[in-house]
Chains A and B, each alone.
Chain A
Amino acid sequence: MTAAPRMITLDAELLGPEPADDRVLRVDDLTVGLRPVPGDSAEPIVDGVSLRVAAGRAVGLVGESGSGKTLTALAVAGLLPSAIQVVGGRIELADRELTGLGEQEARAHLAASVGVVFQNPTASLNPRMRIAAQLREALPAGTSRRRARERSGELLTAVGIADVHKTLGAFPHELSGGLNQRVVIAMALARDPKLLIADEPTTALDVSVQAQVLDLIDELRERLGLGVLLVSHDIGVVSDRTDHVYVMSDGRIVESGPTTQVLGDPHHAYTRQLLAATPSRLEPVRVAERLLPVAEPASPVADQLEVRDVRRAFTVRGSAGRARHVALDGVDLTVTKGQAIGLVGESGSGKTTLARIIVGLERVDSGVVFYEGNPVARHTRAQRRQWRREVQYVFQDPYSSLDPRLTVAQTLREPLEINFPGLSRGEVAARIDSLLDEVELPRSFRDRHPSELSGGQRQRVGIARALATEPSVIIADEPVSALDLSVQARILRLLARLRIERDLTYLFISHDLAVVRYLCEDLVVLREGSVVERGRTDDVLERPESPYTRALVDAIPGRGFARS
């Protein structure tokens, strides 16, 4: 028992009035490491973790990727990958010591007492099986066909799915992400578990759907007396939904206690750092007092980009034949020099399509894109080259936006050689160095391949590549959504700094209102291909006019926590 005394007393406070047999999960000094390979000394990945989950309570496990939070959860669920094993410690699940049981027995006990919900619902469902078949698989072996059908119906009803019959007959791709996650939760509940492990259950979902799914878990927890272990990187979610929290870093629990206490008055430096990096806690950057209102057309010279009545639809092939999906339904947008506009909407709102149209990666069905007053489609060769150089794009996924075969220097050389053919080798090298300086990467990273960079470092390279052409407009499509919180905060600060230094205009696409609030003075809300609201960010967030925006704002997790 290496746990600090403080933790134990807090535990006692929390669980004090309840009998000990209400404790669903008790993990003591759990150590998880790589299966020893000859010649490799195995360092523990999870090092001496102890935690408790009581029936009917939600416990949060917070940390960044690589902190070991997911491995801890997987160890409890008996789902560790084959290369990784439990090295030491005790896991006691529903009053049975797991580590002492034989493999068969342990598996049976786990199957009966733990339900697991993973991050990406579409990945945890088999795309080729109907929902009914998947649920049947989740039910205890030997359930009769008839009973299985009844039970499946009950489970789907329990997770708030109204059209049970239709859902049972559907394939996962025919359902939305939120519905799929409900199905996964139903599967997790199929054997009446005592403990529900939810590993980032809503990270892949839109904010409003996120709130519904979390509400559902809350409700089930209360109604069924489930113990919930909520693994998340999202402080907001944890602060809203749990009453006890463990903060993990580098395989250890660095702080734990009642959620309000830990988040309100963090003691450990790491917890403080994590809290400071939360986007809703960042002090917004407000650069331009010279701002012009978004809605009113300004003088033509000042308009850098204008999108007029742009429409775009895609043909989708589904089981019911072809369907037209309207991505953009007549959108107008004006971007004035020096502005930072946030483009917000849920997935499917058309925000990415709009951004891609503006940089010419996607064509329009109708409507016009203007750059400095001229329609892009009718640009002369020189104008076209200038537009290409001036308007740059930062991609969402730092993993697929860099060519895995090229070094950092080679990646940066490409735009330089294309746009400044007059540069000598030495000049190109010097520019690469200064670009690396600008995005705060060491110059020695020149010869690294993307596989040798972390996500945040890759995104910095992506930003450097966009800056290489000396653009005046940067269109960034969710540039931080794939990154850890603290990395996210640093990239956001970098973007804010670059904007001031380089006098950049930003069109910033995000689903995260907190991120947009930090970086952008102006805000445009898209819904199903149309603009539903636009205005100053602070005004819109304070007093949203359209009901949709209000719903979005209300659904942001951790609002109370952000204000505190």
Chain B
Amino acid sequence: MSLVQVTEADGGSAGPASVDAEGRVDRRRLRRRTIGVGGWVGAGVLTGVLVTALIGPLTGGDPLAQNFDAILEAPSAAHLFGTDELGRDVFVRVVFGGRTALAITVVSAVVASLLGLVLALAGALYGGWVDALTSRLADVQLAVPSIVLAIVVLSFVGNSFVPIVFVLVLGSWVLTFRVIRGHARAVVQQQYVEAARVAGAGRLGIARRHLVPSVLPLLAVAFTINASSALLLESSLGYLGLGVQPPDPDWGQMVATGQAQIFTAPWIALFPGLAVVATAVGLQLLGDGLAERFVGGPVTRRGLAR
């Protein structure tokens, strides 16, 4: 009897190093799990792109300044990426074009992720017709190719910042929605959420305390993938002439105009194209890294990419 009292902690085997009765959890291993080499490379590339886009204008270059004495010059110390058919500095244009492209990408990825998150949580929390409605919306959205939708919308309302963001959000919220909804529905059925209900928590409280924290990792992964698909879509629109209009620079649009000189002055199309690829790959690598980081958690990249 006295022995029962001596072993104070129930199940003495479970010390603070976290070994529970059924499965062993090695905290050191958990902590060691990072976003991996690829993730760091992606993060590095993205940081480089973002920093360049942010501080680029401080160098005093003007993306619209034409210099007819230096038309179609190859890359040199004076013009890092060369000049285009109007004598504009391609490097400066890539930097400024990046500002537009990245701003549109980030804003639409944020809005898309939030929209997806809110609809998914609402669906999971309320169930019933709310869930049915949001899911059907997502199905409808998936059935319409986003590029077609974008072309239609943009050719009717014109192509300023807001409509472009609008079509990009339409094209990418479903991804976040689906990923989050699946996970949130599983979490809502967990006993700890039931316990919160018994304690008197409302839906908002449950969402704030239990759901949002548990879907945050997923949201981070979904965000990077959203952003890369938004960037690609934005560039495609620019390429098709439906995005940012000349003379303002934009990566996709620069690739399209540079195409004419692809054999005489390949740098005009090459560098903005490279910028798109680098940013998109950076986002993907970071997304993969984050997904890897949360392995053992709710989802793998493969599960997300669908």
Chain A positions near chain B (C-beta within 8 angstroms): 64-66, 269-270, 272-273, 276-277, 359-361, 385, 388-389, 391-393, 395, 397, 399-403, 405-406, 411, 414-415, 418-419, 440, 448, 451-457, 459-460, 462, 465-466, 468-469, 483-484, 486-487, 489-491
Contacts and interface: CB of A to CB of B under 8 A. Distances in A.
Contacts of A456: 9-11
A556 B190 CA distance: 32
A400 to B, nearest CB: 5
A457 B9 contact: yes
A405 B213 CA distance: 8
A490 B200 contact: no
Nearest to A362: B194
23 contacts: A64-B11, A66-B11, A276-B4, A277-B4, A361-B198, A391-B198, A392-B198, A393-B195, A399-B20, A403-B210, A405-B213, A405-B214, A414-B205, A414-B209, A418-B205, A419-B200, A452-B16, A453-B14, A454-B11, A456-B9, A465-B199, A469-B199, A484-B11
A361 B194 contact: yes
B10 A400 contact: no
B1 interface: yes
Interface of B: 1, 3-4, 7-11, 13-14, 16, 18-22, 25, 27, 190-192, 194-201, 205, 209-210, 213-214
Nearest to A487: B10
A404 to B, nearest CB: 8
Contacts of A276: 1, 4
A400 B192 contact: yes
Contacts of B192: 400-403, 411
A462 B9 contact: no
Contacts of B205: 414, 418
- Of A66, A385, A486, A490, the most chain B CB neighbours within 10 A belong to A66
Contacts of B25: 451
Contacts of A397: 191
Contacts, number: 125
B7 A455 contact: no
Contacts of B13: 65-66, 454
A472 to B, nearest CB: 14
B191 A395 contact: yes
Contacts of A491: 10
Contact of B200 (A269, A402, A406, A418): A418
A224 to B, nearest CB: 33
Contact of A414 (B1, B22, B190, B199): B199
B21 A65 contact: yes
Contacts of B22: 65, 399
A401 B191 contact: yes
Contacts of A405: 210, 213-214
A399 B22 CA distance: 10
A393 to B, nearest CB: 5
A391 B205 CA distance: 20
Contacts of B199: 388, 392, 414-415, 418-419, 465, 468-469
